[in-house]
Amino acid sequence: MDPGAAIFPVCVDANHDAVSCGDMRISRLGIGIAVGAAVILGAGSALAAGGWTIVTAPPTGQNGVLYSVTSTSDTDAWAVGHSGAAPNGLRAQPVIDHWNGTAWSQVTAPATGYSTSWPAAVSASDTSDAWIVGWSEPQRYSFVPMAMHWNGTAWSVVSFNATIGAIVSGVTDISPADAYAITSTPTSGTIGYGQDQLTHWNGTSWNKVNIPVPAHDITTTLYAISADGPDDVWIPASALVTVSSTSAATEYYALHWNGSSWSMVPMPAQPAGIYDQFSSVTAISPSNVWAVGAVDNETTGSVVSTALIEHWNGTAWSVVPSPATSTGTELTGVTYNSATDVWAVGTDSSRTTLTLNWNGSAWSVVSSPSAGVATGLAGVATTPGASIVQAVGTTFTNSSFTATNPFAMHNP
């Protein structure tokens, strides 16, 4: 199982174009790639660095991207994304890639019945049980929740019992009869606003879960989800709450399931103008959980992001210093091999891949390769005791940033 398989890949504006998500959640199309004149070109054609090796992931030449990856062993992993999208995001088709221990190959995705479908996250509990979640678009600005299930033989579309108009942005698969997914209801064609909800798979159907919210809650954002088991599930979250008749504030907390009830656990508060954007979480044990993302500092009038790492020690959440301190740096995925071998990935300030490793006492930057003119990582996965750590994302293949290919690498 991939403990951190919940990453929200992209936000869109009223024109259906990819944008920075502000206080919605991290978008960064990988992601972490900013398309514009300010982009600093990547490291080019490095093949390996810091133990990481680039591996081919299909399809190429179809504007493909990968958003999420999950792993059950060194010989079984899944990565999902989309290809063939128009500049406005329409006509995107699901991409499902499988790792067999030697190479990635593309697997036929089941028909969703819509011309545009976006897989956002994938999670597997074993070789015969995996979930892909995302959304389809019957027409521009309309959304239908999407879920696909792997039974060991084939992928199939499964009805998702959520509000029509919702998208599904994160999933954690605990067992064939136990999985959770995060849903969000966009407003005005923009993904990420509205009231996020939690749904549960009981082996037969997906159903809404009632979760606690802060007092005077206006909107709730659920960023990512991870489970260490059926009685230890974590969701970093935030809520916009009413302070007075003329003002509101953001409250940060984590939702925790202990097997019998959901509770809210406070996360570090931020000064005015500072916004935490979590992208991934991995639950190792009830007393050891990591969450990563970026801190957006808007006090200067523009958004300046830096990498964010927070840790739960069984008593409280705290911010842990990141060795990646440059502005424009962000983390988009986290996973663990053991309590003393945790990996986080993202994109650095030069728009190249960024990988960090926790050795039990400190985080350090591990050099990693990039490709094309700019590359960003969206997700990372391994499983306890495995030898291989998988990371996926996107590389831009031309200087005009109009062509992309899926990007994958593994360590070792």
Structure token digits, residue 371:
């490709």
The amino acid sitting at 172 is T
What pLDDT sits at residue 401? 84
- 396-409 tens-digit pLDDT: 999 888 899 999 99
CA distance 409 to 381: 11
Torsion of CA 259, 264, 265, 271, to 10 degrees: 160
Mean pLDDT for 177-193 is 75
What pLDDT sits at residue 24? 30
Helix or strand holding residue 150 (H, E):
strand 144-150
What pLDDT sits at residue 6? 35
Domains (ranges, CATH) in the chain?
11-411 (2.120.10.70)
What pLDDT sits at residue 274? 85
Residue 399's CB: how many other CB atoms inside 10 A? 12
Listed ranges 4-18, 267-281, 382-396; the one with the highest mean pLDDT: 382-396
What pLDDT sits at residue 33? 34
Mean pLDDT for 361-389 is 96
Check: CB of residue 183 under 8 Å from CB of residue 197.
Answer: yes
Question: Mean pLDDT across the chain, nearest whole number?
Answer: 86
Mean pLDDT for 251-258 is 97
- 158-171 tens-digit pLDDT: 998 766 678 999 99
**Pairing of β 18-19 and β 217-222:** unpaired
CA distances, 45 to each of 54, 59, 62, 374, 397 (Å): 10, 19, 20, 10, 11
Band of pLDDT at residue 48, cut at 50, 70 and 90? low
Q: Point out which residues pair with 405 in neighbouring strands.
A: 395
CA distance 85 to 145: 18
What pLDDT sits at residue 186? 67
* pLDDT over 50 at 22, yes or no: no
* pLDDT over 50 at 336, yes or no: yes
CA dihedral sign, ordered 148, 60, 58, 345: negative
What pLDDT sits at residue 52? 97
Check: CB of residue 232 under 8 Å from CB of residue 258.
Answer: yes
Band of pLDDT at residue 187, cut at 50, 70 and 90? low
SS3 192: coil
What pLDDT sits at residue 4? 39
- 123-160 tens-digit pLDDT: 999 999 999 999 999 887 788 999 999 999 999 999 98
Smallest Cα–Cα separation from 170: which of 93, 64, 280, 96? 280
Mean pLDDT for 291-318 is 89
Mean pLDDT for 90-96 is 94
Torsion of CA 124, 129, 133, 137, to 10 degrees: 150
> Mean pLDDT lowest for which of 17-31, 59-73, 132-146, 242-256?
17-31
